[in-house]
Chain A
Amino acid sequence: MNALDYAVLLCLLLGIAAYGMWRTRERRDLTGYLKGVGRTGWLTIGLSVMATQASAITFLSTPGQGFESGLGFVQNYFGAPFALIVVSAVFLPLYRKLGVYTAYEYLGRRFDSKVRLLGAGLFLLQRGLGAGITIYAPAIVLSTVLGWRLDLTILCSGLLVVAYTVSGGSDAVNLTQKYQIWVIFAGMLAAFFVLMARLPDGLGIGGALALAGKFHKMEAVDFSIDVNRRYTLWTGLLGGFFLALSYFGTDQSQVQRYLSGGSLRESRLGLMFNAVFKIPMQFFILLMGVMLFVFYQFERQPVFFNEVAWNRQAAASGGAGLRAIEAGFGSARAEESRDLRAWLDARRAGDGPAAAAALDSAQAASARAEAARGGAKAALRAADAKTAAGDADYVFISFILRYLPHGLIGLLVAAFFAAALSSKAAELNALGSTTTVDIYRHVVRREATDAHCVAASRVFTALWGAVAIAFALFANLTENLIQAVNIVGSLFYGGILGIFLVAFFLKWIGGTAVFWAAIAAQLLVIALYLTLDISYLWYNAIGCAACVALGAILQGAISLGRRKGAPA
């Protein structure tokens, strides 16, 4: 990165944060601070909901997933539009009608205090566990490739998001998210156009898709009914539906976004905006990864995309083995690249048999290269157990730093940070609000004034920010990060959703029954996760179904006991 990149990066990030703080400097009452002033339009809500879900992990890791596994991950989002319709038709009108600040406040009105505390507690636990991931994820990747200090990267981005979230509350989050997501869109589109322009002459989008298909990267829909497969049409539609219903309907970081709408209509249109554009957006990000795969079939490709880690180990004593693997990988890739150029020439000349022969040869060379890449990862792990053996998170950023012009590099790095800040801001905003409304004002200081609660909310938001920064500073997260976040979410979301579905649709079930049912369902999900090897998306459906079924059984037992105990 040069001075121009740093100027673009700092102007965009600091400018948006400062503008958000300035525009929302008058938020002093509780409603204005937690729900906004009630003028937010549908587009702001739609973009804000989108920005809350799409963190930096989405834009850094997902192209890497496309590069490695193709388009299949898009199925994860197939259930989301249908869940958004249910949230819009059922959840949202009830929240607005009751005028609640948080989703868990609704549980207190429908059931009792202990269910409200359980819902809020599960949310705080789940979000608390993932508190540092949204800051840590881009910081570890960007600090590695840009040579920045990891602790300073985490501290600077963490303090910036805490500053404007504490200052302006919900409106500041919505407003900054609106501009941050435009920065993200601009960056991603710019990167895509540069990538397409750098594909070999004569290949074209059709040829690129055909080539990706030959390497099994175009399998967007898998009709398999094997429950052990992580992403299929069915896990996406069913598991994805329950995950999205729980996330959009009961997770305060999302509920707070659409409750700030100027009217029911604006909030609903914001949700429908996401229902329409969620799948195309994820498809586009994955397609970027697939096109990166095609691009790297013709260009020099590192054996391990986290080149800093690779070079460090290769330079150490005993690095000769790594360099030998790298040489083997390089020669296989060079051979594959030659074969693919021959395939391209034969294709252009209309020589079918020659094209098929060249493609077969390229696929054989590719298999050798992939075997070498697998060996490289194993050798790297053996040399240093702390080094992440996965490099998918580094694929996209490596391309950006090597092939994009200056200025655009700054824009893309700003886009990654904007994505991190936007999702972190919504998370902190929700954690602060829930702690204030459902714990502090509900349990500790029932007589607290609105002004006192605003001050308390600011303190709690700052404290959660400190927790997130500390977690990010001391965590050692090495798995593919987007999956880690989704797995943590899936373990908790099912039970929470079960409580809300009982609240909305099964009016005869009371608080005590659903409280114990939710706890039992949560324990069941954790036990199954530790013993079974099924797609994590299924745990959303299992947790939800267990909570609803156990709630019904317990309520039946409670009613029966009451009837037996009643005087004849």
Chain B
Amino acid sequence: MATQGSEDREAGLAAAGRWRAVYAAVTVVVLVWLGLLAVLTRLYS
């Protein structure tokens, strides 16, 4: 059974074992969205 501490750290996902890795991945995805929107602005303005 997962303890409180391990549940807080371990995400248990195949692609990202720890929550830190999940947050890093989400940050990268969001930065990609922002980058794409900046490119869209540049292309069509």
- Using CB atoms and an 8 Å cutoff, list the residues of chain A in contact with chain B: 71, 74, 78, 81-82, 85, 88-89, 93, 97, 209-210, 212-213, 216, 218-221, 263-265, 268, 272, 275-276, 279-280, 283
- Measured CA separation A89–B26 after assembly (Å): 13
Least CB distance, B1 to chain A, in whole angstroms: 11
> Is B37 within 8 A of A265, CB to CB?
no
Total count of chain B residues near the partner, CB < 8 A: 21
Contact with A along B25-45 (1 / 0, CB 8 A): 011011001100110110111
Q: Which residues of B contact A88 (CB under 8 A)?
A: 19, 23
| Given A88-B23, A93-B8, A218-B40, also A78-B34 (CB < 8 A) | yes
- The chain B residue with its CB closest to the CB of A92 is B8
Closest 3 CB pairs of A and B: A213-B44, A218-B44, A220-B37
Contact partner of A272 among B26, B41, B43, B45, CB < 8 A?
B26
**What secondary structure prevails in chain A residues at the interface with B?**
helix
- The chain B residue with its CB closest to the CB of A213 is B44
> Is A276 within 8 A of B26, CB to CB?
yes
> Is A265 within 8 A of B44, CB to CB?
no
Q: Which residues of B contact A85 (CB under 8 A)?
A: 23, 26-27
The number of A-B residue pairs with CB atoms under 8 Å apart is 66
- Measured CA separation A71–B29 after assembly (Å): 20
> Is A265 within 8 A of B23, CB to CB?
no
| Given A82-B27, A85-B27, A276-B29, also A264-B8 (CB < 8 A) | yes
- Using CB atoms and an 8 Å cutoff, list the residues of chain B in contact with chain A: 4, 7-8, 11-12, 19, 22-23, 26-27, 29-30, 33-34, 37-38, 40-41, 43-45
> Is B34 within 8 A of A221, CB to CB?
yes
Contact partner of B7 among A220, A221, A265, A280, CB < 8 A?
A265
- Measured CA separation A280–B36 after assembly (Å): 11
> Is B41 within 8 A of A263, CB to CB?
no
| Given A213-B44, A218-B41, also A265-B12 (CB < 8 A) | yes
Q: Which residues of A contact B27 (CB under 8 A)?
A: 81-82, 85
Contact partner of A210 among B29, B37, B44, CB < 8 A?
B44
6 A-B interface contacts by CB (under 8 A): A85-B23, A210-B44, A220-B38, A221-B34, A264-B7, A272-B22
> Is A265 within 8 A of B30, CB to CB?
no
Contact partner of A221 among B4, B12, B22, B37, CB < 8 A?
B37
> Is B38 within 8 A of A221, CB to CB?
yes
Q: Which residues of A contact B30 (CB under 8 A)?
A: 81-82, 275-276, 279
Q: Which residues of A contact B34 (CB under 8 A)?
A: 78, 221, 279
Q: Which residues of B contact A97 (CB under 8 A)?
A: 4
- The chain B residue with its CB closest to the CB of A237 is B34
Least CB distance, A271 to chain B, in whole angstroms: 10
Q: Which residues of A contact B26 (CB under 8 A)?
A: 81, 85, 272, 275-276
Q: Which residues of A contact B11 (CB under 8 A)?
A: 265, 268
Q: Which residues of B contact A280 (CB under 8 A)?
A: 33
Most chain A C-beta atoms within 10 Å of own C-beta, residue among B7, B19, B44: B44
- Measured CA separation A81–B23 after assembly (Å): 10
- Measured CA separation A279–B27 after assembly (Å): 12
Most chain A C-beta atoms within 10 Å of own C-beta, residue among B7, B12, B45: B45
- The chain A residue with its CB closest to the CB of B35 is A221
- Measured CA separation A378–B43 after assembly (Å): 35
Q: Which residues of A contact B43 (CB under 8 A)?
A: 213, 218
- Measured CA separation A213–B40 after assembly (Å): 10
- Measured CA separation A311–B38 after assembly (Å): 41
- Measured CA separation A297–B34 after assembly (Å): 29
- Measured CA separation A74–B40 after assembly (Å): 13
> Is B7 within 8 A of A263, CB to CB?
yes
- Measured CA separation A280–B30 after assembly (Å): 9
- Measured CA separation A220–B4 after assembly (Å): 42
Q: Which residues of A contact B29 (CB under 8 A)?
A: 276
- Measured CA separation A490–B37 after assembly (Å): 25
> Is B23 within 8 A of A216, CB to CB?
no
> Is B44 within 8 A of A279, CB to CB?
no
Least CB distance, A170 to chain B, in whole angstroms: 22
> Is B19 within 8 A of A212, CB to CB?
no
Least CB distance, B40 to chain A, in whole angstroms: 6
Least CB distance, B38 to chain A, in whole angstroms: 5
Contact partner of A209 among B19, B23, B44, CB < 8 A?
B44
Most chain A C-beta atoms within 10 Å of own C-beta, residue among B23, B37, B38: B37
- The chain B residue with its CB closest to the CB of A81 is B30
Q: Which residues of B contact A219 (CB under 8 A)?
A: 41, 45
Q: Which residues of A contact B33 (CB under 8 A)?
A: 279-280, 283
Contact partner of B23 among A89, A210, A212, A263, CB < 8 A?
A89
Q: Which residues of A contact B40 (CB under 8 A)?
A: 71, 209, 218, 220
Least CB distance, A412 to chain B, in whole angstroms: 27
Q: Which residues of B contact A275 (CB under 8 A)?
A: 26, 30
- The chain B residue with its CB closest to the CB of A217 is B44
Least CB distance, B20 to chain A, in whole angstroms: 9
> Is B45 within 8 A of A218, CB to CB?
yes
> Is B19 within 8 A of A89, CB to CB?
yes
- Measured CA separation A327–B38 after assembly (Å): 39
Least CB distance, B2 to chain A, in whole angstroms: 8
- Measured CA separation A89–B37 after assembly (Å): 27
Q: Which residues of B contact A272 (CB under 8 A)?
A: 22-23, 26
Q: Which residues of A contact B8 (CB under 8 A)?
A: 93, 264
- The chain A residue with its CB closest to the CB of B33 is A279
- Measured CA separation A78–B38 after assembly (Å): 12
